[in-house]
Structure 1
Amino acid sequence: MLNFIKKNIAKVWAKKHVATTQGFKNNAAKDQEALLLDLVKTAEKTLFGREHQFENIKSIDDFQKLVPIADYEDLKPYIEKVKRGQAKILWPDLPEYFAKTSGTTSGAKYIPISKEGMPYQVAAAQSAIFHYIAQKGNADFVNGKMIFLQGSPELEEVNGVKTGRLSGIVAHHIPNYLQKNRLPSWETNCIEDWETKVDKIVEETESQNMTLISGIPPWLIMYFEKLTEKHNKKITQIFPNLQLIITGGVNYEPYREKMNDLLGKPVDIVQTFPASEGFFAFQDDYQKEGLLLLTNHGIFYEFVPLEEFGKPDAHRLTIKDIELNKDYAMILTTNSGLWAYSIGDVVRFIDKNPHRVLVSGRTKHFTSAFGEHVIAFEVEEAMKATVEKFPCQITEFHLAPQVNPEEGLPYHEWFIEFAKEPNDLEKFRVELDQQLRQRNTYYDDLISGNILQVLKIKSLKKNAFQDYAKSEGKLGGQNKIPRLANDRKIADFLEKL
């Protein structure tokens, strides 16, 4: 009887919640302008507000004239002041948290999350679940166990501001009504070594009535593989009542085939679009493509046509100006003190009623099939340092992820055209992997946690990259072949050479 009551209460809550969201879905453009002016007014007396004449901003046009698009390097001087404990810099108060993320050329990033911003991170996740319940028409999973695969919830302090990875921060805000059914234990979540942690999670969950599982795809796959190897069964045989998987962080599609095989039969998937800077969107219809953009969650959005991004005269469009099926760099102004901030994500609108997006890429070439966010600077520096230790010469190279190898763990595959090949290619491979691990902590975590195996190298014949450029009609001129990819389009061509 208690289970019956619990799931029916969830259904009533879900129906009421979805009804309340119709307002922001129908009035996105109007709400967005009002939100921006409210954010500006709130931060008018901050250092950033004074320097950018917030008192003179009365419209979106005023804002765009006075506040340029910024990346982390542009805002870093302000964030460093905040890290030293100074208030009224980007936002009136000190942030409640710093979400620490992997950096680029300047090391780790510290993304502020204010006391106003944190509730939206939790509310967005709850809203995704409520939309699913309302659409599905049942909430049986609320009576089972739920697992959230995440980073350690242990936080450090930076001048009084709690600091850690976003998933660890969010662990402190799981609603009380979910805590009773939540796995793994706090002690297990605090284990730093990922392989040890997953082994312990398997022990804690394998005999439980798991009904909801959440995590990024590579973590889910590692967890599922350990379970299937131990029990010699598909996941849905081990957890026959598993109803829902919630995922985000990286594009799910490259993992879909592998996940379907591990699961054994269809399980509903809800995709989300969270980041340290905010929770932007979720799949409000689990049977359709596209993620609902959350235009009332403390974030003002601008969109720069991708082909214009980085140009001084680039158009900064708002939600009312966008076109469907066009790629835009997404720019954020948030209630945590990020102003016209370029997050690096590229989105494509597939619907305006309400506004739904696909995450179509990044503003710069990168590799992040496993959440590692490896950038060009890191791979180029890793290659440079490796070549200096070996008597060899490189003509060109390309890095692509191998998500579904025929055997073994996934890996990075480097396609290298040597002008002069090293005497010992195996030692070269090991050194290159070490150099990349030194430059990217997420990649190092994935290797040490046995989520990825050490990179592999395919040595290419002379003029291989020229052949590819010819095949694409891009030989000569200013055309460059991307050194990083998130798919295997280029790799599949080079594989055949």
Structure 2
Amino acid sequence: MPIVGNLIKTALELNSKLQSLPEDARQAQSDQLQGLLEKSKATAFGCYHGFSTALESDDLIGAFQQQVPIHDYNKLHQRWWKQQQDFPDITWPGQPKYFALSSGTTGKTSKRIPVTDDMLASFRTVGQSQIASLANFDIPADFFEKDILMLGSSADLSEHKQHLEGEISGINSLNIPGWFDSFYKPGKEIAQISDWDERVAAIAKAAPEWDVVAIAGIPSWVRMMLIKIIEVHQLETIHDLWPNLRIYASGGVAFAPHRKSFEQLLAKPLTIMDTYLASEGFFAFTARPDTMAMQLAVEHGVFYEFIPFDERGFDETGKLLDDPLVLHLGQVEEGQDYALLVSTPAGAWRYLIGDTIKFTDLARFEMVISGRTKYFLNVVGSQLSEEKLNTGIEQLSDELGVEINEFAVAAIKEDGEYLHQWVLGTNKDIDEQAAAQRLDKLLQALNKNYKVARSKALKAVRVKAVRPTQLYSWLEARKDKKGGQIKLPKVMKEKMMVKLISHLT
């Protein structure tokens, strides 16, 4: 009888009942903002932007928005975060022990994002809330006595100035609470292996020693790890080794394009949970069954703002307006795309994170990631969001009867005319010309602006189909690493696409 598991499950059920969502979204978020400003009012940033004055206002959110400008990474890094590597009390009290190197999908140079002790505490509390939400799922008690495999980047961090740095998943693996050590796999020793192939080989070797019930990680890299384990141990499916595996916590990219290829590795279905965990914070997680929508972590030390991803916040090229409409959580609507701003206990202030989100159920604070502000293909007025791109690829995959695990697209100019160059990652051979024609028709049906563009400036659509491993090889060469948090840019600049095509030919 799983005595310990029953105790843990009972505790989670009780904790879940106690964790009711706030009724007043504005007040809940105002409380988070007040805590952030109180903690950092004596920092250089807090003094410069008058945090003490804002704290005296009857309208704390309004005062904060008036006194603090919106920041992107370059603006915040150049003026503030760069100084925080050398001096304390710049944007947050003290000096960060860690900086997260964001792998980035729109540029080659990694961003350095501070990770403070308070930010790590926020990560942990959101993680604990996610674990508590498992009480909402039909999970047997013995589940809570088994192993959880978290596949991230290497925990072998590098020293830089006065801090350690690496990708956020590696930093988090070094700061896992002691009580979780007995459940966490692959364990800190294997997690610190810097080479991806060596780390996966070590995981495959140790895999029979574990009874894994849940896996977390980016779909493409988790899939490659599972394939390696299956090959090494000559299995039919991963359930031959881990029969109790029943949960997969996805994150980093949309799971839908990977669903079919995942199912081929399984003997029985998994419960799929999505997570919104970025270098800047752990913002949301799937909290109940039968949905991939995620519950926003509204009371975990982060203050959120939302800019409508339309003419109220951005111009026709996707560039932020000089004076955009900015809303707080109490003002948002369901079904509207918003660019997300966060203020966090890492000293990120009104930080444009680059993601667009859409609320699906405001009563539950549930949302989905609808795209990236830079994954907005509009060179010739096509106005294709990442959501539309994903939908088009999913429909093409269904019609062709093939799995398309990865894709990238760019507007390229040839002989004075624009065309859309697509690269599709699939393990099956397809007729590239027929795929281009069908994808073109699907996108025209999905987006009227794209249809207009095709009748004017956008003269052609071209598809190149390759094996996903070829794309991962390009990522490895470009980033000088692979695995973990590395993702393929879905919308590329022309120069990057030309380099990719050159690598593939």
Q: Please state which band the TM-score falls in when normalised by the shorter chain.
A: 0.7 to 0.9
CA contact 1:26–1:354 (8 Å) conserved in 2? no
Inter-CA distance 249–25: structure 2 relative to 1 (3 Å threshold):
farther
CA contact 2:136–2:289 (8 Å) conserved in 1? no
Deviation at 1:314?
A: 1.1
Aligned residue identity for 1:249: G
Aligned residue identity for 1:332: V
Task: For 1:89-488, list aligned pairs within 5 A.
Answer: 89-102=90-103, 107-206=109-208, 208-230=210-232, 231-307=234-310, 308-309=313-314, 310-365=320-375, 395-396=417-418, 398=420, 400=422, 402-406=424-428, 440-441=478-479, 444-446=480-482
- Residue 68 (structure 1) aligns with: 69
Deviation at 1:106?
A: 8.4
- In 2, the alpha carbon distance for the partners of 1:452 and 1:316 equals 29
SS of residue paired to 1:211: strand
- Residue 15 (structure 2) aligns with: 17
- Residue 394 (structure 2) aligns with: none
Inter-CA distance 190–320: structure 2 relative to 1 (3 Å threshold):
same
Inter-CA distance 240–251: structure 2 relative to 1 (3 Å threshold):
same
SS of residue paired to 1:256: helix
- In 1, the alpha carbon distance for the partners of 2:427 and 2:33 equals 47
- In 2, the alpha carbon distance for the partners of 1:263 and 1:435 equals 28
Inter-CA distance 399–55: structure 2 relative to 1 (3 Å threshold):
farther
- In 2, the alpha carbon distance for the partners of 1:225 and 1:402 equals 21
SS of residue paired to 1:129: helix
Q: 2:6 aligns with which of 1, 5, 8?
A: 8
CA contact 2:215–2:249 (8 Å) conserved in 1? yes
Task: For 1:22-101, list aligned pairs within 5 A.
Answer: 22=20, 24-57=21-54, 58=57, 59-76=60-77, 77-84=79-86, 86-101=87-102
- In 1, the alpha carbon distance for the partners of 2:289 and 2:244 equals 18
CA contact 1:328–1:348 (8 Å) conserved in 2? yes
Deviation at 1:434?
A: 9.7
CA contact 1:212–1:242 (8 Å) conserved in 2? yes
- In 2, the alpha carbon distance for the partners of 1:483 and 1:159 equals 33
SS of residue paired to 1:49: helix
SS of residue paired to 2:137: helix
CA contact 1:221–1:259 (8 Å) conserved in 2? yes
Deviation at 1:171?
A: 0.8
Deviation at 1:40?
A: 1.9
Deviation at 1:433?
A: 10
Deviation at 1:437?
A: 6.6
SS of residue paired to 2:261: helix
More displaced 10-residue stretch of structure 1: 291-300 or 165-174: 165-174
Deviation at 1:43?
A: 1.9
- In 1, the alpha carbon distance for the partners of 2:222 and 2:165 equals 25
SS of residue paired to 1:117: helix
Inter-CA distance 177–46: structure 2 relative to 1 (3 Å threshold):
closer
CA contact 1:25–1:355 (8 Å) conserved in 2? no
Deviation at 1:288?
A: 1.8
CA contact 2:250–2:274 (8 Å) conserved in 1? yes
Inter-CA distance 16–433: structure 2 relative to 1 (3 Å threshold):
closer
Inter-CA distance 245–433: structure 2 relative to 1 (3 Å threshold):
closer
CA contact 1:132–1:286 (8 Å) conserved in 2? no
Deviation at 1:356?
A: 0.5
- In 1, the alpha carbon distance for the partners of 2:487 and 2:218 equals 14
- In 2, the alpha carbon distance for the partners of 1:241 and 1:201 equals 18
After superposition, the C-alpha distances for 1:108-155 in whole angstroms (9 at most, x for unaligned) are 211112211111212222321221234325332222232111111122
Inter-CA distance 36–120: structure 2 relative to 1 (3 Å threshold):
same
Aligned residue identity for 2:334: L
Aligned residue identity for 1:233: E
- Residue 495 (structure 1) aligns with: none
Inter-CA distance 174–41: structure 2 relative to 1 (3 Å threshold):
closer
SS of residue paired to 2:243: coil
- In 1, the alpha carbon distance for the partners of 2:339 and 2:187 equals 39
Q: CA RMSD in A?
A: 3.8
Structure 2 alignment gaps of length 5 or more: 315-319, 377-385, 391-405, 440-458, 465-470, 495-505
More displaced 10-residue stretch of structure 1: 167-176 or 356-365: 167-176
After superposition, the C-alpha distances for 1:78-127 in whole angstroms (9 at most, x for unaligned) are 1110112x112111211232111135568321111221111121222232
Aligned residue identity for 1:15: E
SS of residue paired to 1:10: helix
More displaced 10-residue stretch of structure 1: 205-214 or 245-254: 205-214
After superposition, the C-alpha distances for 1:424-445 in whole angstroms (9 at most, x for unaligned) are x9xxxxxx9999877x52xx53
SS of residue paired to 2:149: strand
CA contact 1:52–1:66 (8 Å) conserved in 2? yes
Inter-CA distance 399–271: structure 2 relative to 1 (3 Å threshold):
farther
Inter-CA distance 56–184: structure 2 relative to 1 (3 Å threshold):
same
Structure 1 alignment gaps of length 5 or more: 385-391, 420-424, 426-431, 456-481, 486-497
What is the TM-score with the length of structure 2 in the denominator?
Answer: 0.74
Inter-CA distance 328–10: structure 2 relative to 1 (3 Å threshold):
same
More displaced 10-residue stretch of structure 1: 275-284 or 52-61: 52-61
- In 2, the alpha carbon distance for the partners of 1:134 and 1:115 equals 30
- In 1, the alpha carbon distance for the partners of 2:214 and 2:472 equals 36
Deviation at 1:65?
A: 1.3
Deviation at 1:66?
A: 1.4
